[in-house]
Amino acid sequence: MRFSPRLPNDTATLLLTSTFIIVLIGLANASHDVASRHTKTISIVGAILLLAVYAIWIRQYLASDERPAGSEDEVARVPLAVSGAFLLVAGVGSAFVSDWFVHALQPTIHTLHISQAFAGLVIVAIAGNAVENVAGIVLAHKGYPELALSVVKNSVAQIAAFLYPALVLVSLLTVTTLTFTLAPVYIGALFGTALIVWQITHDGEATVFEGAALVATFVILATVAALE
């Protein structure tokens, strides 16, 4: 499968920029550097800058004449304002559904002695991303590789460079403050994943071998999470 490398490269840039902040904080904490005492401040500054970078990217992406193949074939049937309202309502609804799903999963987690990391990285991730993953496969099968990648990789960019930084800032209003601090094993996993995704997609070509490499990467991460 061949596709335009622009979107994958942009997404990789966003993911690597997010990982850069996480790696720096992880190194500061591991080495007990002076900066480790200012993790909250670094996270706030990093979150603001990531949101600014994401805003610049999304503005550039929306204003660009380059669109994923297949996205221009149909005329919009719903006004932009109405589409935005639907998207907002769907987003709020999905947040509640996700919360209900996680709570409903707790008895199973305790009964089967499943780690919280495995539940979050594997069970919740697969269930939560099922729709976009299926949509990506269907679009690729129909011959719209750029649109398929847009559906899947835009989600990655939104989580790494928008949702996570936004939650860091929102958490300042709550009792628990979220930072970019992660366990060392997951810092390594995130950095390695970002590099692998960039390496596989930057050339504008997808092969069975590369797909198998991505699946293997996820299974290895799932194994680590399961054995915590």
**What pLDDT, on the 0 to 100 scale, is given for residue 29?**
93
C-alpha span between 45 and 68 (Å, rounded): 33
Q: Which helix (H) or strand (E) holds 149?
A: helix 145-158
Arithmetic mean of pLDDT, 138-146: 87
Comparing 61-65, 128-132, 162-166, the range with the smallest average pLDDT is 61-65
Arithmetic mean of pLDDT, 164-183: 92
Q: Which letter does DSSP use for residue 76 in this model? A: -
Comparing 17-21, 63-67, 129-133, 201-205, the range with the smallest average pLDDT is 63-67
pLDDT band at 67 (very low <50, low <70, confident <90, very high): low
Contact 48, 170 (CB under 8 A): no
**What pLDDT, on the 0 to 100 scale, is given for residue 68?**
58
**What pLDDT, on the 0 to 100 scale, is given for residue 80?**
75
**What pLDDT, on the 0 to 100 scale, is given for residue 216?**
94
What residue has token string 């949101």? 51
Instruction: Extract the tokens encoding 77.
Output: 């049937």
Question: What are the Cα distances from residue 42, in Å, to 21, 34, 76, 120?
Answer: 8, 12, 42, 26
pLDDT exceeds cutoff 80 at 13:
yes
Average pLDDT, rounded, for the chain: 86
pLDDT band at 74 (very low <50, low <70, confident <90, very high): low
- What are the tens digits of pLDDT across the range 84-106? 888 888 878 877 887 788 888 88
Contact 207, 99 (CB under 8 A): no
pLDDT exceeds cutoff 70 at 70:
no
Arithmetic mean of pLDDT, 175-187: 91
Arithmetic mean of pLDDT, 16-31: 93
pLDDT band at 21 (very low <50, low <70, confident <90, very high): very high
C-alpha span between 171 and 66 (Å, rounded): 36
More confident residue, 91 or 172: 172
pLDDT exceeds cutoff 60 at 221:
yes
**Terminal alpha carbon distance of the chain:** 37
Comparing 17-21, 38-42, 157-161, the range with the smallest average pLDDT is 157-161
